[in-house]
A and B are shown apart, each in its own frame.
Chain A
Amino acid sequence: MFSVIELENISKTYENTHALKQVSLNILEGEVFSLLGPNGSGKTTLLRIMAGIERPTSGEMRFNGVKVEEGNINHVRSKTTMVFQKTALFNTSVYKNIAYGLRLRGLTKKETAEKIRETLKTVMLEGYEKRPAKKLSGGEQQRVALARALALDTQVLLLDEPTANIDPKTASIIENVLSWVNKEKKTTMVIATHNVFQTETLAKRAALLLEGKIVKVGAPQEIFALPSKLLASYARLENVFSGVSKVTGEGNSLVDVGDGVQIETAFEKTGNVTVFVRPEDIILSLNPIVSSARNSFEGRIVEISDLGTIARLRVKAGRDFTVQITKRSFNDMQLNIDSKVFLAFKASSVQTV
């Protein structure tokens, strides 16, 4: 398939920090690509380079097969657009915010008005044209920013944490809009996110970025299948399991995540799913306990990390689970490497998309 953006050994250095180290990546035409990584891993810098608003310290970027240089950077900017994590708006009406890019592209007044009406409808902000953009709520502002980007019908849409810091309702509107745009307009999208579930719903391919380096590129499931020790360095990827789910009763499913581990959930889903359990939702005990928790496993501690008042344990119970307990409990239970322990968590603690 045709690569819209090709990055070859891209590095970016700010004074003493290496934001990106030798990043090579291809973004294919029409795909939704997800950049996964914790804060500070270089996701935003990478997006800014792709958007043509930041120049790499070294390495080469090609856009539609043409090497990007100072002379043709404006061409890249006209073919791509980016939605920032922190919503940036011009201090004027919603209409003029969206009209800005359209005017640069030479649309007539009539075409502009039509386009604005259409995109505002897409983001469910019909009739907001005359409202002062900066007086809208956070979620509405983010949707205006999205509408402003969508109106341009660019070949590539770059999104930096599009649903971070906004209410779940707006987040779901934005996600729906994005998947609609990708399907209907075949827009190529690169989404930087730390929300692993967004990755799975929207993206077909993803890259895991850690400390400015690409650790892995592949299908989201392949990334979640990486050794958990590596994923553990990335908070939200702890206790993430991919597997096959089948419905076992009303409101329940059983997900087989391999190595003899089956996780019971409080949702009904069939087929491939990715689930995760927060480390603090897992109860750890020395003896098997009788409780309402639908999931219980026996395992052994393979790693202990001291995090001040809390201790983080990695327990091998078929698959690796990360468990978080207070330092006091840890001391009272006299735990050590290879201690035999029991894990329990509720079906409702298991989250998925």
Chain B
Amino acid sequence: MNLALGNEIIDGLIKAFQLIFSGDPTVVEICVRSVLISGSATILAFLWSLPVAVTLGLKRFRGRFLIKGFFNAMLGMPTVALGLIFYLFFSKAGPIGFLRLLYSPTAVIIGQAILITPITVSFITSAIESVDPEIKDLAKTLGASETEASIAVLKESMNGVVLAVTASFNRAIAELGVVLMIGGNIAGFTSVLTTTIALETSKGEIALAIALAIILLLIVFVLTLAVNLFQRRITYVFRD
């Protein structure tokens, strides 16, 4: 039996590479959809997290620690619970059921964006907090207004911000629970890498599952590596 499974894995690997290198349309389609959905979710999360993180990182106000604590706690939120909450919201009887978003790519994008928001907020906040507190004063002594000084601090924390965005994207593209519950894994519509891997594995279609898993890992590794390599350049571009 061990031998049989071994053969199956080797067979699967060979077929997987065939699928990848032959540019199989299903594989390509799932990959593109995954990247588009998670990319949109990352951008969405970044847009609403940035003002929150800048406020938490730079301003001192009552309740600041409570809000920071909330986002930190949300980092460990069980995604199945989150998926269930989203399901209840998006379902016909739910408060936004009338939008008919359940089992649509839009629902998946919103779900992933909310899921990764704690990561984006917490990482950017700590990146801003790690900037020398004198930088803000320095910018002001050089003639910057309050807003310009805050931008100067944000630019100093650009490495951390880039890291936050990368980590958020990686988390989004790797998510299964939420995507399955509100996306429904509808082939050609909402199926992404993770949901397809899960489905194909349960169906015994090991080759396709392996091929997609390899691609998923490659996306995460290549992106992270590229960001690391180009981080200096990205930071410099943003500084101009």
User: Chain A residues in contact with chain B, CB under 8 A?
Assistant: 48, 51-53, 74, 77-78, 80-82, 84, 86, 88, 90-92, 96, 100-101, 104-105, 148-149, 152, 158
> Would B134 and A84 count as touching, CB distance under 8 A?
yes
Whether A100 contacts B152 in the complex (CB less than 8 A), given A84-B134, A86-B134, A88-B134, comes out as yes
A78's nearest neighbour on chain B, judged by CB, is B143
Instruction: Across the A-B interface, give the 9 residue pairs with the lowest CB-CB distance, nearest first.
Output: A101-B142, A88-B134, A82-B141, A88-B138, A78-B143, A104-B143, A53-B140, A53-B137, A81-B141
> Would B140 and A148 count as touching, CB distance under 8 A?
no
B132 within 8 A of A: yes
A51's nearest neighbour on chain B, judged by CB, is B141
Which of A51, A80, A100, A148 gathers most chain B CB within 10 Å? A100
B205 within 8 A of A: no
B13 within 8 A of A: no
Which of B138, B139, B156, B236 gathers most chain A CB within 10 Å? B138
- The listed residue (B138, B145, B155) touching A84 by CB distance below 8 A is B138
B138's nearest neighbour on chain A, judged by CB, is A88
Q: How many residues of B contact A (CB 8 A)?
A: 18
Complex CA–CA separation, A148 to B235 (angstroms):
21
- Contact partners of A48 in chain B: CB under 8 A: 137
Complex CA–CA separation, A96 to B238 (angstroms):
12
> Would B140 and A90 count as touching, CB distance under 8 A?
no
Write out, one digit per residue, whether chain B residues 182-205 have a CB within 8 A of any chain A CB (1) or not (0).
000000000000000000000000
- The listed residue (B132, B145, B152, B239) touching A74 by CB distance below 8 A is B145
- Contact partners of B144 in chain A: CB under 8 A: 77, 104
- Contact partners of A77 in chain B: CB under 8 A: 140-141, 143-145
A87's nearest neighbour on chain B, judged by CB, is B134
Whether A81 contacts B236 in the complex (CB less than 8 A), given A86-B134, A88-B135, A88-B138, comes out as no
Which of B140, B142, B152, B155 gathers most chain A CB within 10 Å? B142
- The listed residue (A91, A92, A152) touching B142 by CB distance below 8 A is A152
- Contact partners of B152 in chain A: CB under 8 A: 90, 100
B49 to chain A, nearest CB (A): 23
> Would B137 and A148 count as touching, CB distance under 8 A?
no
- Contact partners of A104 in chain B: CB under 8 A: 142-144, 148
Complex CA–CA separation, A127 to B20 (angstroms):
52
A122 to chain B, nearest CB (A): 17
Whether A90 contacts B141 in the complex (CB less than 8 A), given A84-B134, A104-B148, comes out as no
Complex CA–CA separation, A96 to B240 (angstroms):
8
Write out, one digit per residue, whether chain B residues 107-148 have a CB within 8 A of any chain A CB (1) or not (0).
000000000000000000000000010110111111111001
Complex CA–CA separation, A32 to B21 (angstroms):
74
Q: 18 pairs across A/B with beta carbons < 8 Å?
A: A48-B137, A53-B141, A74-B145, A77-B141, A77-B143, A80-B141, A84-B134, A84-B137, A84-B141, A88-B134, A88-B137, A88-B138, A90-B155, A90-B239, A101-B142, A149-B141, A149-B142, A152-B142
> Would A105 and B143 count as touching, CB distance under 8 A?
yes
- Contact partners of B145 in chain A: CB under 8 A: 74, 77
B144's nearest neighbour on chain A, judged by CB, is A104
- The listed residue (B142, B155, B239) touching A81 by CB distance below 8 A is B142
> Would B138 and A152 count as touching, CB distance under 8 A?
no
Complex CA–CA separation, A152 to B144 (angstroms):
12
